[in-house]
Structure 1
Amino acid sequence: MYAFEIERPTTLADAVAALGREEAQALGGGQTLIPTLKQRLAMPSVLVSLSGIAEMRGVSVNDAGLLCIGGGTTHGTVAKEAAAHYPGLADLASHIGDPAVRNRGTIGGSLANNDPSACYPAAALASGATIVTNTREITADDYFQGMFTTALEEGEIVTEVKFPIPEVSCYIKFEQPASRFALVGVFVAKSADGVRVAVTGASNNGVFRWSEAEAALSSEFSVGALDGLSVASDDMIADLHGSAAYRAHLVGVMTKRAVAGAK
C-alpha cells in the first residue's frame, strides 16, 4: 500500500464536496478498490468513505412498484431484505464472495467499478434497472460501457439502484473456486415486455445482453427454445481459468440452467 488520506462524510452533500478534492476517489465497501490499490492500479491521494452515509442504505419498494436499493447497501442486506420482493436478485446477492465480503461490499461499489466478473452488473442489465447518482438517472443499457468502464463522470456517486421486478428470474454462475467471481454468470429476467438475458464474466467488453437468446425466450420461455443457439468466442476472455471457446460454451449452459431455475 502507500500513504493516502481518508475522509468519512456522514451526508451525501459532504461526500460530494470531499470528492471535489484533487485525486479523491470514492470508497464503498472496498472489496474491489482495496485490492486495486494494493496492486498500484489506482493511486488516489484521498479516499472518501461512503459507508457512514445513512441515506444511501436500505431496501424498499416505491409507489411505482420498483425495488429501490441504496448504493451503500451491503450484499448481505440485499440478500435478506430483497428476498420477499425480488428473490432472483436476493439469491444472487447471497452468493457473492464469502460472509466477510457480503457484509462489507456494497451494490453501489460493485456497479461503480463494473468488474467484468462481478454479479450485480448482470442483474442490473437483465432487469432493465436504473442507476441513480447524485446528479442524474442512467438506464442500465446506457450505464455499462465496457470492462471497468461506466457512464459515471468524475465525482459522481451511485446513490440508489431502481429495479423493475420481473415475473420470474434466475441468476446462475460458474464460479472460479478461489475468488468466487463468475467465470460466466447469466441473469435471466422475464417480464410482460419480454425476456432479458445478461451475461457477466465472459466478455472482454464486460457485461452484455445476449439478444438472440432474448428473442428466442420471448417467443417461448423454455430451455428448449435455446437449442441451437450459441455466442461467438471472438470477444470472450481467455486466461488460465478457461479459454475463450470454453467461456462461450458456458454462456449457453448457464443460460439454460437459469431458464430452468427461473421462479
Structure 2
Amino acid sequence: MKPVVSVVIPAHNEESVVAEGLDLLLDGTAPGEFDVVVVANACTDRTARAAARPGVRVLETATPGKAHALRLGDAACVTFPRVYLDADVRIDAGSVRALAAAAARPGVLACAPAPEWDLSGTGPAVRRVHRVHDRLIAPARVLAGVGVYVLNERGHGRAFPVPDVISDDGWVDGCFTGDERVVVARARSVVRPARTVRAHLRRRIRVRQGNRQLAELGVPARPLRPKELRALLAARAVSPLDAACYLAVLAVDRLLTRLRGGRTSWGTDAGSRHRDPTATS
C-alpha cells in the first residue's frame, strides 16, 4: 500500500530506547502504512541493529549532528506529511494518524501532539522544577519541546532544510505563526524529562545555547517573565517551595551558561534515559 505518512527518526547512540519506540509506533499498522526512516548518526553502539525490522529503513552516517541526520532522513522520505520524531520519545500509531489528519486541514502547515510527561525515576527537586517550568512554557508551546513535529508539503517547503542548530524544533516552530501550527489534542507523545538536577542543568545549558543560535538566525525565543511565575503562585498552580527550587536551579543554569560561553555540543542528551548514580535529587 502507499504510505500515508513518512517518519524520520534521528538516532545517536540510542540502542537502549530505539527498539521500544519503534515497536509502539508500528503496533497495529498495516504493512507499508508508515514509511519509517531511522538515521543512525555517528553511533558507537548498536543503534542501527536495534532499529532494523520490517517496515523500517535504517540509514547510517559517520557525520555527527541531529540536523544533518534530519536532512538525510528527510531526503529519503517518500511521502507527505512527514513526522520528525526523537528516538527517546514515545508515540503510537493512532496519534500519528491523528497528526496526519490534522496536517491535511485547510490552513494548517505544521502540528504536534500534546505531551505527557513520564516522571518515573525523577528526583523530588527536579519534579518541582519541572512542574514550574512546564506551566510557564505551556501557553506558548506548540511544536517545540514535545519530541515530535509534523509538516505537510507546504510546511516542509518553509522549514526545510533545517540549518545546523541544536534546537531543530525551535527553528521549525519559528517558521510558522498563529493557526499555521496547531496542537492536536487527540495525539499524545510521552516525553521523559531529565531525571536529576545535574542532568536538568546539562539540558538547560543546551537549550540556552540553542536559543542563542536561533536568535542569531532571527528566531528569538519568547522570554519568561517574573509576573508569570507570580501568577502561578497566586493561582496556587505551584507552591512556594516549587518556585524556590525553580529559581535556585535557574540561577545556577544561567551561571553555567555564562561560564561555558558560546561552546555547543551535538551529542545525545541522555539525562532522561539513565539515572545519574552520583546524584540524589
**Normalising by the residue count of structure 2, what TM-score does the alignment of the two structures yield?**
0.26
More strand per residue: 1
More helix per residue: 2
Higher RCO (CA < 8 A, seq sep 6+)? 2
